[in-house]
Structure 1
Amino acid sequence: MPIPILYYPLSTQNQRVESFETVSNEEQPRIYTTDTLPSASEMDELIWAAYRQIFSEHQILKFTRQRFLESQLRFNQIKVREFIKGLAISDCFRRLNYDVNNNYRFVELCVQRILGRDVYNEKEKIAWSIVICNEGIEGFIDKLVNSDEYLENFGDSIVPYQRRRTILQRNNGEIPFNLKTARYGIEFRDKLVKTQFIWQGAIRRFRPQEQRPRAGDPVLFLNMVYDLNITPKFNRYPTFT
């Protein structure tokens, strides 16, 4: 029987308050949606925005591209929400974000990139990490994209974006979520700094052939004497009475 999601209080954050800016500026996010029947170039921009939101700009590599999902989205076989889910459960996303972090940091990254906000508190991290333990990564991502919060803010046709980006940047000098490096958390940095030596077998020394002693070399006879381990039966310096 799976454990239900634990209750966690919702702290007051800027993204939960309706916008009060009256003049648009460059800090306000651009909405990418398929409701307006985008052209081919606009669809390219929408797909690029989805990659930038989910993978972050520094994780957009050649092997992260999901051409099959892109083809389905272009031909209206899947919706934007399903495309976002496909990117988040892909093997490359797991390798770049889950394999190099613990569950708590992975929850923080996914909430930031999929729901467009920061986690409320440590209790929310614990609650979602239990979901990962019980249902795996795919079950966790499925609950995020099917949550009421996601549907109310992005629905089926809008690419997720960082909500209330202007206010978040003013508090403590925070940067946008899509510019945070995923793999350099505290645990991963400690793993890089600490040198670990694991010997799988016996240690062997390599000596070049030209440095090996040849037949007749006195070194060979000296080693033979050491191997005999002969102890003298007389005193080297006798005492006279």
Structure 2
Amino acid sequence: MTFTQPTTTNHSSSLKDREIALHQIYQQILERQPYGCERTLLATIEKDFLTNKIGVKRFVKEFGQSEPYLNTFYYTTSNLKFLELCFKHFLGRAPQHHAEIRVHFDRLVHKGVKQLILDLVDSEEYLKAFGCFTVPHPRQPNCYLSPNVYLESNLLNEEQIGRRGRSLPTLYWRQLGLHCDSGVCHLPETYEDIQTTMAQEDLSQVFKLLQYAPAEQVLTTLSPQQKAVLRQAIIKST
């Protein structure tokens, strides 16, 4: 994972400094610079930011609810993958565990996508990490909950849009023993590889997720062999 010096602005920042910050915001949250037609939709908040009427946090909050952002990520991905991308874009890390995904999935379903963005940017974690003036960026905490969280944050922060698909979050394709580097997930060479790469406890967690996530979105990403493994894990866990 590549970490750079955080970009920060304040009320006395020059126009050039704010233009640099704006470029960094787009790279972090949109993963590219806006197209011409998108900049037309963003003209008002861009002007407010560049003329010091709003700060970084306010701009991030409004941009996250904008059509350019939602068109790029929300309308073109599964809800589960979108949640993972929100963690990447606004908190600079991958989801830590299934419970965290369930909490935010519930917010997305019951409060809507724009409220989800507001909750992330207004969260205590965002405030501690970036405050009101620092552009969100990939973070490297002093410690991680597990080696998997460290690995998944690295994978997520380094991937490009759609590189590993738009359906299955990194947390799940790793647990399912899939190879998704090409954007399309593939099975390991043998069925035995699946059994050895997927612990029963991980399978049980995936099954629990099906109670919260739309089943058709999760199940359509699984092969017949993987569904069979899931069924075996369910039988053993009951």
The alignment's TM-score, normalised by the length of structure 1, stands at 0.60
Provide the C-alpha distance between the structure 1 equivalents of 2:121 and 2:158, rounded to a whole number of angstroms.
18
Q: 1:180–1:76: structure 2 CA closer, same or farther, 3 Å change rule?
A: same
Equivalence map 1:28-107=2 (5 Å):
28-35=3-10, 37-57=12-32, 60-65=34-39, 66-107=42-83
SS at match of 2:112: helix
Provide the C-alpha distance between the structure 2 equivalents of 1:173 and 1:125, rounded to a whole number of angstroms.
14
Gaps of 5+ in 1: 1-25, 195-241
Instruction: Quote the offset at 1:102 in angstroms.
Output: 1.6
Q: 1:62–1:177: structure 2 CA closer, same or farther, 3 Å change rule?
A: farther
Letter in 2 for 1:115: L
Q: 1:54–1:142: structure 2 CA closer, same or farther, 3 Å change rule?
A: same
Instruction: Quote the offset at 1:185 in angstroms.
Output: 2.2
Instruction: Judge which range, 59-68 or 147-156, deviates more.
Output: 59-68
Highest CA radius of gyration, 1 or 2?
1
Letter in 1 for 2:137: Y
1:73–1:79 contact (8 Å) kept in structure 2: yes
1:112 is aligned to 88
Identity over the aligned pairs, expressed in percent?
A: 24
Q: 1:45–1:171: structure 2 CA closer, same or farther, 3 Å change rule?
A: same
Letter in 2 for 1:180: Q
Provide the C-alpha distance between the structure 2 equivalents of 1:104 and 1:27, rounded to a whole number of angstroms.
25
Q: Deviations over 1:23-82 (max 9, x none)?
A: xxx94322211137322222111100000010003x643333322111111222212111
Instruction: Quote the offset at 1:90 in angstroms.
Output: 0.6
Gaps of 5+ in 2: 169-182, 186-216, 221-238
Provide the C-alpha distance between the structure 1 equivalents of 2:60 and 2:14, rounded to a whole number of angstroms.
20
SS at match of 1:158: coil
SS at match of 1:37: coil
Equivalence map 1:88-167=2 (5 Å):
88-164=64-140
2:108–2:115 contact (8 Å) kept in structure 1: yes
Instruction: Quote the offset at 1:128 in angstroms.
Output: 0.4
**Number of aligned residues:** 166
2:80–2:167 contact (8 Å) kept in structure 1: no
The alignment yields a C-alpha RMSD, in angstroms, of 3.3
Provide the C-alpha distance between the structure 2 equivalents of 1:130 and 1:173, rounded to a whole number of angstroms.
22
Provide the C-alpha distance between the structure 2 equivalents of 1:69 and 1:154, rounded to a whole number of angstroms.
20
Aligned equivalent of 1:185, options 166, 169, 172: 166
**Structure with higher helix content:** 2
Q: 1:90–1:178: structure 2 CA closer, same or farther, 3 Å change rule?
A: farther
